Structure 1
Amino acid sequence: MDSVIDKAFAAALYGDGDEGLDAGASMLAAAPGADDELRGRGEEYLRRAWERGWQPADVVRVVRRDLAETHLNLTAALIHAETGRYPHLPPRWATQLADIGPGAERPQDRFSSATVHLQLYRLLLRLPPIEPVGPPPGGAVPGPVEGEPRTLTRIRALLAKAEATGFPEEAEALTAKAQELMARHSVDEALLAARTHAKNVPAACRVGVDAPYETAKAILLDAVASANRCRAVWNEALGFTTVVGFEPDLEAVELLYTSLLVQGTSAMTRAEAEQRAGGRKRTKTFRQSFLMAYAHRIGGRLATAGEHAVTEAAETSRDTALLPVLAARDVAVTDRAEQMFPETTTTRVRGATDGAGWTHGTAAADRAHVPGRGGRAPDADRSLGRGRGR
């Protein structure tokens, strides 16, 4: 059956049109005995993707963006089958696999099923190399960690409540407390590592930045990363930002960004409903301006909050080593980011054109209730680090 698959793949995977796909799908539809080998080839393409720096969530993100639900189901099934081969998986993979789900495939006729396989394999085959943010499966991984730190569990619970409540004052208290715990947790981890001479080094993770309004979302994520002593590099073409930092700070960035994005999107929906109720029709421009203002205001407030937290920690602990320790970690993070992205460029992103959207977005950022003060005018701009695959 290899010859049938080889011929089908030669016809379907290396061209851009539908003619080759149809020819390849017809060959596979007429060869039921090739089904196992066909799925095996899909797992092989996934292994190649892992070797080129991709992780399960990255693959799913691209498939969701470029293909259809049937391809997404097939992708999930193949990922679970392929990763089931390994006795141990790298950090973060278990969470990604749980988020992906089992990927139940819907029954299709043989030609349609073969077409879906070939379309997916064409995409997998063309994935470019990207900067790895961890080892591929099958390599050496750190020993198992029993659960997560209690502080992160508390932060997660506080942010979940902030997202769920319909009362701005309650969300204010919950989010402020979560930010306070994040900053304190980061300082404690840095001091502990210094005192025990732990050989901690900066790590990295990827966070999806999906359309629509991906520029505003990337700015928000950059602000959250900077406030938590991390560096963020946005890959617009592939729809993600790579965040570089020490592990406790990466966890804080993921939690806070996700929560602030949920809160901001909910606030935008409410503001748009109020505008419609007032007889003013709002558009994509309103939403874009809203989220840009939200991201800019949050950036200023997070920066102030981070500086305040460090100052307070230094005064409380009276540990003269704190500021040098944090400075050394900042240098290590910058060095790691520059090693990963030697060709990073900086893009200046210009802001909003809808004044009402900007005003509502700024107010929503204030209600997100991160301690501190700050903000920018609608014509302000911000720099974003951008990287590309190697």
Structure 2
Amino acid sequence: MPDAEDLVADALAAVRGTDVRQTERQLDRLMVGTGTADGATAVDAALARRLVRGLGRLWPRGWQPVDVHRIVRRRLDAGAARLVRDALAAQRREQAEPVPAWWDDQLRTLTAEGSKDAAQGSKAGRNLGAEMLAAWTAAEGLDRVDALRAAVDVLALVESLPPIAVLRPPPGSTGAALPRAAGTARSGSPMLDRVRALLAKAESTTFPAEAEALTGKAQELIARHSIDEALLAAGTERGDVPSGVRLGVETPYAGAKALLVQEVAAANRCEAIWSDDLGFTTVLGWPADLVAVELLYTSLLVQATAAMLRGRAERRPGSGRRTKVWDESFLNAFALRIGQRLRTATDAATEAAGQAEAGADRLLPVLAARGEAVRERLETLFPGVTRHRLSVRDAEGWSSGTSAADRASLDVGGGSKPRQVPGRP
């Protein structure tokens, strides 16, 4: 009788190949199972065990729960991502080594994406094996053939993921059990709550001037907070080091979105590297600055998209045949202009702080040292980044995007092209 582990391995090898008929034969064998009364259960358990093992092997290779969830959703679908979510919960229960607090925060965030999914994931996580796959199959409303096919596709993707930069100590490594992991910040601070409130109002208003004022105020608060954090760290031995976060950069117009991340990052003394094939941009910087970049990018993307849609409606009659080119030019121009205005706000806050209690003689060396530390981190993790050339293919879209950024977003200075990891387009 065939062994369940062997059946899974054969199906996985077939899915990775190019012979469609062989793939269907192996999936049929997986459907039949081991030929015993509990053959289907054994197959489900073998699939689940291998998926959980595969996830565990990703953590020392730089992957984090949100990264895996994002790429599975991007390359497969939302149902596949929900299976990964259940498997992540099961893998966490098997993790005997120390696990950092931010890791559990990510898992809670993923589980909380939907109350129905959260309940299902919790139930499945307690019974690793056949129960996990059966519960997911029922929740998705799939028949057994489609469920097995989807599960094998998820497993093939998880096991094929390449190593990426290790941004934080993974579970089981030195530093994983620290109460405050490097690269995190006090995200519940009153200042950040004020920033979130300002950005939420900027996203919801239909008046560009109001959005500009609200976002500009948010950037002022962020810049001042960053300076306070830098001076505080310089006067203590907190042990923070530059770390990083990964922000999803999805199609369409992934390049323009990556450029927006880079502009926001530069305005907040961070570095950004776009990994186009993996669908994210890595932002390197100090804890408070990383939180700021994530908040601003998320808000500005909402504002840029809304402005782009309004701009489409205002276009000249007869120009609709090149909507995609226009959109891309609009978003590129928006990103660059926003970057200019953000840097202006940051420079103004730095100058004001230097003239106030901090004193330029004390503040500027602190900021320079922190900037150098971020660049060293960049060179260590990405020793050969390349530049991706930006081209303008629609002058009307470029002009409209620049005007939209002037009317309704932030404050800062000239932009560069998004950097990519070596060997990627």
- Give the TM-score normalised by the residue count of structure 1: 0.90
1:384 corresponds to:
418
| Per-residue deviation, 1:94 | 1.6
Distance change (3 Å), C-alpha of 1:19 and 1:66:
farther
Moved more, 177-186 or 1-10: 1-10
| 1:12 and 2:41 are equivalent in the alignment | no
| Per-residue deviation, 1:313 | 1.0
1:33 corresponds to:
41
| 1:108 and 2:142 are equivalent in the alignment | yes
Q: Unpaired runs of 5+ in structure 2?
A: 34-39, 122-135
Q: What letter corresponds to residue 16 of structure 1 in structure 2?
A: G
Moved more, 110-119 or 362-371: 362-371
| 1:56 and 2:97 are equivalent in the alignment | no
CA distance in 2, matches of 1:97, 1:141: 18
Query: Is contact 1:8–1:27 with CA below 8 Å preserved after alignment?
Result: no
Q: Unpaired runs of 5+ in structure 1?
A: 377-381
Q: Secondary structure at the match of 1:317?
A: coil
| Per-residue deviation, 1:28 | 2.4
Distance change (3 Å), C-alpha of 1:369 and 1:107:
closer
Distance change (3 Å), C-alpha of 1:126 and 1:115:
same
Equivalences for residues 352-367 of structure 1 within 5 A: 352-367=392-407
Alignment deviations for residues 266-309 of structure 1 (CA, whole Å, 9 cap, x no partner):
10011112227x55425101101100110111122222222221
Distance change (3 Å), C-alpha of 1:21 and 1:138:
farther
Distance change (3 Å), C-alpha of 1:263 and 1:192:
same
| Per-residue deviation, 1:368 | 3.0
1:45 corresponds to:
54
1:161 corresponds to:
201
2:89 corresponds to:
80
| 1:254 and 2:294 are equivalent in the alignment | yes
- Give the TM-score normalised by the residue count of structure 2: 0.83
Moved more, 309-318 or 259-268: 309-318
Distance change (3 Å), C-alpha of 1:49 and 1:20:
farther
1:188 corresponds to:
228
Over the residues paired in the alignment, what is the CA RMSD in angstroms? 2.4
**Of residues 272, 276, 286 in structure 1, which corresponds to 2:326?**
286
CA distance in 2, matches of 1:70, 1:327: 46
Q: Secondary structure at the match of 2:314?
A: helix
CA distance in 2, matches of 1:169, 1:216: 23
**Of residues 332, 335, 346 in structure 2, which corresponds to 1:306?**
346
| Per-residue deviation, 1:388 | 5.0
**Of residues 75, 94, 105 in structure 2, which corresponds to 1:94?**
105
CA distance in 2, matches of 1:198, 1:353: 48
| 1:324 and 2:360 are equivalent in the alignment | no
Q: What letter corresponds to residue 261 of structure 1 in structure 2?
A: L
Query: Is contact 2:63–2:166 with CA below 8 Å preserved after alignment?
Result: yes
| Per-residue deviation, 1:97 | 4.2
Q: Secondary structure at the match of 1:183?
A: helix
**Of residues 145, 153, 163 in structure 2, which corresponds to 1:119?**
153
Query: Is contact 2:65–2:106 with CA below 8 Å preserved after alignment?
Result: no
1:379 corresponds to:
none
1:142 corresponds to:
178
Query: Is contact 2:268–2:293 with CA below 8 Å preserved after alignment?
Result: yes
Q: Secondary structure at the match of 2:102?
A: coil
| Per-residue deviation, 1:150 | 1.6
Query: Is contact 2:330–2:398 with CA below 8 Å preserved after alignment?
Result: yes
Distance change (3 Å), C-alpha of 1:93 and 1:299:
farther
**Of residues 68, 71, 87 in structure 1, which corresponds to 2:80?**
71
CA distance in 2, matches of 1:64, 1:51: 22
Moved more, 160-169 or 73-82: 73-82
The number of aligned residues is: 382
